[in-house]
Amino acid sequence: MGYRDRRAGGRRLGAALADLKLSSPFVLALPRGGVPVGAEIAQTLDAPLDVFVARKVGAPGHPEYGIGAIAEGSDEVVWSTQVPTMFDVTGPRVQATVVDERRELARRVERYRPDRALPELSSHDVVLVDDGLATGITAEAALRALSRLAPRHLVLAVPVGASDAVERLSALAEVVCLETPRSFRAVGLHYDDFRQVTDTEVDDLLRTA
């Protein structure tokens, strides 16, 4: 079916999540694309909204090809199980990329949460939100980092995702994914409007929430 834009996906996803009867839900969105989705979910659930920052680690020379991911609050690098043998994840080029991504991750945490830390999550059902799952490696890094914070229940919510990623991540959290197209190619193909979300839009959505 697809979605008009991220907020439309969030409204449909929020309705599905309302059926779960979550207890004291707290919505954490992966910036930047997950924030408009998360804003709609937070409104539907009458829940607080904040960001949880994770970053894809791209292959040297091919930054859009994710071979791993990192998340705030964790020193772990989650590597894809499908990394081609041509990329040595222990080699200097990949490790330099990890350093660069950690620097960018820290910048984004400071940008989006300059004066506040994450709340204590042990009394909340936490909903981690993104605009979709392709490989799911970034969401995986975020879920692994969040699990260490011991939320009462952990849910991953996305409007659309690749079925293999949904299945893999179901071992880490309850996954609510509205659409798993048989021939999944890219998240953006399932939105009419998939323009890049800006830092200013993220700031505005968090301030409103």
pLDDT in tens, 65-122: 889 999 999 999 999 988 877 788 999 999 999 999 999 999 999 999 998 889 899 9
C-alpha span between 93 and 90 (Å, rounded): 9
The pairing of strands 62-71 and 78-79 is: antiparallel
Is the pLDDT assigned to residue 43 strictly greater than 90?
A: yes
Report the amino acid identity of residue 127. V
C-alpha span between 184 and 160 (Å, rounded): 9
C-alpha span between 77 and 84 (Å, rounded): 17
pLDDT at position 209, please?
86
Specify the domain boundaries for CATH 3.30.1310.20 within the chain: 55-112
Residues 6+ apart with CB under 8 A from 107: none
pLDDT at position 58, please?
93
pLDDT at position 192, please?
97
Task: Report the mean per-residue pLDDT for the chain.
Answer: 95
Is the pLDDT assigned to residue 173 strictly greater than 90?
A: yes
Summarize pLDDT for 51-71 with one digit per residue, the tens.
Answer: 999 999 999 888 888 899 999
Class of domain 55-112: alpha beta
28 vs 84, more confident? 28
If you search the block for the tokens 């020379």, which residue do you land on?
Answer: 61
pLDDT at position 140, please?
98
pTM for this model (two decimals): 0.95
Residue 183 pLDDT class (50, 70, 90 cuts): confident
Strand ranges for the chain from DSSP E: 25-29, 49-51, 54-59, 62-71, 78-79, 125-129, 153-160, 174-179
For 6-54+118-181+191-208, CATH number out of 1.10.4190.10, 2.10.109.10, 3.60.10.10, 3.40.50.2020 equals 3.40.50.2020
For the record, the structure tokens of 7 come out as: 């907020």
For 181, phi and psi rounded to 5 degrees?
A: -60, 145
